[in-house]
Each structure stands twice: as C-alpha cells, then as structure tokens.
Amino acid sequence: MRYSLLAGGKRVRPILCIASCELVGGDESLAMPIACAIEMIHTASLIHDDFPCMDNDDLRRGKPTNHKVFGESTAVLAGDALLSLAFEYIACKANNVSPDRLVRVFAELSSAIGSKGLVAGQLVDIESEGKVVSLKELEFIHVHKTAKLLEACVVCGVIIGGGNDNNNEKVRIYARFIGLLFQVVDDILDVTKSSMELGKTAGKDLVSNKATYPKVMGIDEAKNFAYHLMNQALQQLACFDTAKAAPLYHLAYYIANRQN
Ligand code: GRG
C-alpha cells in the first residue's frame, strides 16, 4: 500500500479537491482528509489497472508496478485495502465536517468509482480492445475511467467548502471537460513521442490495440479538440471569484500543455 501510494504521481486529484474547497471559501484543512482519501482510491485503481488481466503494465510512476514487486495476490489485496482505508480515513479524520456533508461526500465518491463510474469505463475499455471504436464510445470510456473521479474531486471539495448546488454543477462540468482533455492530451503525447522516438523504439500508440483520439479523428483534429475542451472547462469558472478560481484555471492550462 505504501509502495504505490508514496511512489510519486502528479497529485492532480487531491489538488483539485483542495482548490475546489477554497474556491467556495472553505479552508484547505477541511478538504485534506478527503483529498488524501481520493489519492488512495486513485492509487488502488492504478494497482488494479496494471494487472496482466487489465492493462498489463510493468512500470507505474517510474517504478516497477505493484504486482511485479509483490506478486499478484498481494497487489490485489493492496488495492482492496487502499480502497477500504480511503473511506475509513474520511470517517475518522474529517471530524470537523458536518455529518450531512460527509454522507454526500461518501455518496459522490462511491458512485464515481463503481459500476456507473470507473468500473464501467474500465469494462468498456477492455471489451473494446482490438475493435473499431466510435468517437461516442471513446468518450464513454474516458468520461467513466478518468472524468468521473475528477468530478468527484471537485464536487467533494465544493461540498466540504460549503458551496451550493449551482457551484457544484459548474465544477462538475469543468471536471468533465478536463477529464476528457487529460486523455486527448495523453493520446497526442503518445503520437508525438512515438514519432520522435521512431527508429529507436516504437511508442505505445504504434503498438497498442487501444483506440485513441488521434487514431479516431486524426492528430490535427485531436489538437483542435483539446483546445476546445480547455476553453469549455475555463468557461465554467467565469462565475467564480477570479483569484479563488486561479488554481483551477492553471490546472486546466497545465493539463492542456503538459509535455509528459
Ligand atoms: C475503484 C479500485 C477501483 C477499480 C476500478 C481498475 C479500474 C476499476 C479502473 C481503472 C481506472 C484507471 C486506472 C483509469 C486511468 C486514469 C488515469 C488518467 C490515470 C493516470 O492518472 P495520472 O496521470 O497519474 O494523474 P499519476 O501517477 O500522476 O497520479
């Protein structure tokens, strides 16, 4: 559990949670237990995603994957235990948050990762491997695999910070757009890295059976789509105080412009 949780990572999800809490006037300390729990959930999903029966990855966060180091059975259990610890951690540590808000946080998080969230995205992703995938199906996969948890991060942040339903709706749409943006940029980077590395080793995009945005719509259209998604995300922040929304603006820029 420690090996994967403390292996690094960009910590985008906890930052989103804290930034959304502060967006509506809440203090960082209120959101911290939920932010930590979300990183545990995310890490659990990465451990499971890396298994041979799923994405079959040997490296994660620059280190050998959990099952490569500890074996598959221990890695299954490490993921399970991180998932369980996340909910225990919120229940035990978020004691300065009112029970009604905590119940809404539990509902938001559990629905984001279950059969209508991450699990649905993962299932469709696995089942579509090697098949021709439409743009609609690709969007379904990424909305569920990636955007749902990002939505939960910002919505939980707003709930904890004391925001209203309108605030919740705006940040939810913001997260939906940055979730898709995240994947489009990932797919573009796979192609550009591949072409730079051509002649050395083939990049992931060249060897993978998976559908990607550049494969479905072409690289130029994928870049235009990324720009459109970033702008749509930023528009959702227009109704908030500019200074308080600054971290969420910068996160969208960061996701759009990252190089790895
Ligand atoms: C809820 C335990 C559990 C499982 C659900 C395995 C599974 C079913 C879903 C997999 C979901 C998954 C791994 C989606 C990929 C999301 C994604 C974009 C990962 C990469 O995120 P980064 O780049 O990673 O933020 P770092 O390492 O920086 O945190």
Nearest CA to ligand 1 atom 24: 9
This model of the complex carries an ipTM of 0.98
Residue 211 Cα, ligand 1 centroid: separation in angstroms?
A: 17
- Cα of 156 vs centre of ligand 1, distance in Å, is 18
Residues recorded for the chain: 260
Closest CA to 122 of 35, 21, 50, 221: 50
Give me the amino acid identity at 137.
E
- 31-90 pLDDT, tens digit each: 999 999 999 999 999 999 999 999 999 999 999 999 999 999 999 999 999 999 999 999
Q: How far apart are the first and last CA of the chain?
A: 25
Q: Is the CATH code 1.10.600.10 the one for domain 10-257?
A: yes
- From the CA of 13, give the closest atom in ligand 1: 25
| Nearest by Cα to 154 from 1, 29, 38 | 38
> What's the pTM?
0.94
Q: How many angstroms separate the alpha carbon of residue 184 from the centre of ligand 1?
A: 15
Q: Which residue in the block uniquely carries the two structure tokens 């979300």?
A: 38
Q: Is the CB of 10 under 6 A from ligand 1?
A: yes
- Residue 40 token pair: 């545990």
**Cα(208) to centroid(ligand 1), Å:** 18
Give the burial class of 56: count Cβ atoms within 10 A of its Cβ; 0-12 exposed, 13-18 middle, 19 or more buried.
exposed
Q: 92: CA distance to ligand 1 center in Å?
A: 25
Is the Cβ atom of 116 under 6 angstroms away from ligand 1? no
DSSP output for 92-113: HH-TTS-HHHHHHHHHHHHHHH
- Mutation test of ligand 1: which of 60, 110, 140, 145 has the most ligand atoms closer than 8 Å to its C-beta? 145
Look up tokens 């955007």; give the residue: 147
- CB of 210 shorter than 6 A to ligand 1: no
Enter the tokens of residue 245.
Answer: 């929304």
Q: Is the pLDDT of residue 201 over 50?
A: no
Residue that wins the pLDDT comparison between 148 and 206: 148
Domain ranges of the chain: 10-257
**Cα–Cα distance list, 252 to 155, 174, 223 (Å):** 16, 9, 15
- DSSP, collapsed to helix, strand or coil, labels residue 123 as helix
Q: 92-111: per-residue pLDDT in tens? A: 999 899 999 999 999 999 99
Q: Is the pLDDT of residue 199 over 80?
A: no
CB atoms within 10 A of CB 99: 8
Provide the residue type at 210 as one letter. Answer: K
* For the chain, percent of residues with pLDDT exceeding 90: 89
